[in-house]
Structure 1
Amino acid sequence: MNKSSLINIVKLKLSEKISNFEKLIAETRASSNDTKSSMGDKYETGREMLQQEINNLQIQLNEVLKQQDFLKTILPKQSEKAEKGAVVKTEKGLFFISVSLGEIIFENQKMICISPESPLAKAMNGKQQNELFSLNNMNQKIVDIQ
């Protein structure tokens, strides 16, 4: 498995999310400017709601920017145990311990990108191939680590 390619795919997905948030923020700001009117309180309430939406989008954008910075700390090296940057195969699936991005397709396989802070990553942390871990009272076996 080419971990450099995997990291690049995750970087690309994060860049797409960043672009989408920036576009949404710009569009929301534009519609906020369109509501300026002398009609009174009704429009002030609408503008306030748009401002809250912009603030929420900005918070989400900042979170993705943090993920992008964190991804830069992951080295494309072989891992011997479940840790940040490891690709862990269990009986239930394939997981890339990196950023919380959800499911991606890599080398024709479904892989789930999870944060090292996620309960699953914490349960697997430090475990090696053929070791068991438990999450939600379910035992799983680590089949392979890369």
Structure 2
Amino acid sequence: MDKSIILDTVKNKISEKIRNFESLITETRASNNDTKSSMGDKYETGREMLQQEINNLQRQLNEALHQQAIIQKISPESSEKVQNGALVKTNKGLFYISASVGEIVVENTKIMTISDEAPLAKVMMGLRTGQTFAINTLEQTIENIW
């Protein structure tokens, strides 16, 4: 399996998330400006709610930017052990350790992307093909690592 295609897919998903958050923030700020009027305190609550929404979107944008920074450091080179950037096939599924953007489909194959901070990734880190691990009493065997 070509890891550079997987890496590009993850990068594209993160870039799309960033664009969406930036767009939502811009739209919400515009709404916030539209509510500024001389009608009095009645609109202060609405403006405060919009500001809270902007703050929430900004936090999500910052997380997406952090994911983008992490993914930029990942190489598509093959790995012999589980590490950041590794594509890991277990008897339960296919996992790409990079940034958590959910399930992606590459070459008609479902791949679950997980962060290196995810409990599953932490348990697998450093393991090699053929080794077994357990998480939540579910035992898995690493069948291949790219």
For Structure 1 versus Structure 2, the TM-score category normalised by the shorter chain is over 0.9
Cα distance, 1:3 vs. partner? 1.3
Structure 1 position 48 matched with structure 2 position 38: no
Q: Structure 1: how far apart are the matches of 2:42 and 2:136?
A: 49
Q: Which residue of 2 aligns with 1:134?
A: 134
Where structure 1 has 5 or more consecutive residues not aligned to the other structure, the ranges are: none
1:138 to partner: Cα distance: 1.4
- The 5 Å alignment of 1:10-49 reads 10-49=10-49
SS at match of 1:81: coil
In the alignment, structure 1 residue 109 sits paired with structure 2 residue 109? yes
RMSD in angstroms over aligned alpha carbons? 0.7
Structure 2, unmatched stretches of 5+, are none
The residue matched to 1:11 in structure 2 has which SS? Answer: helix
Matched, 1:77 2:74: no
Alignment of 1:51-66 (within 5 A): 51-66=51-66
Paired with 1:66 and 1:89, the residues of 2 have a C-alpha distance of: 26
Between the two structures, name the one with larger relative contact order (CA 8 Å, sep ≥ 6): 2
CA distance in 2, matches of 1:2, 1:141: 22
> C-alpha separation between the residues in 2 aligned to 1:34 and 1:66?
31
Shift in Å, 1:28: 0.4
Runs of 4+ in structure 1 deviating by more than 4 angstroms, as ranges, are none
Which residue number corresponds to residue 122 of structure 1? 122
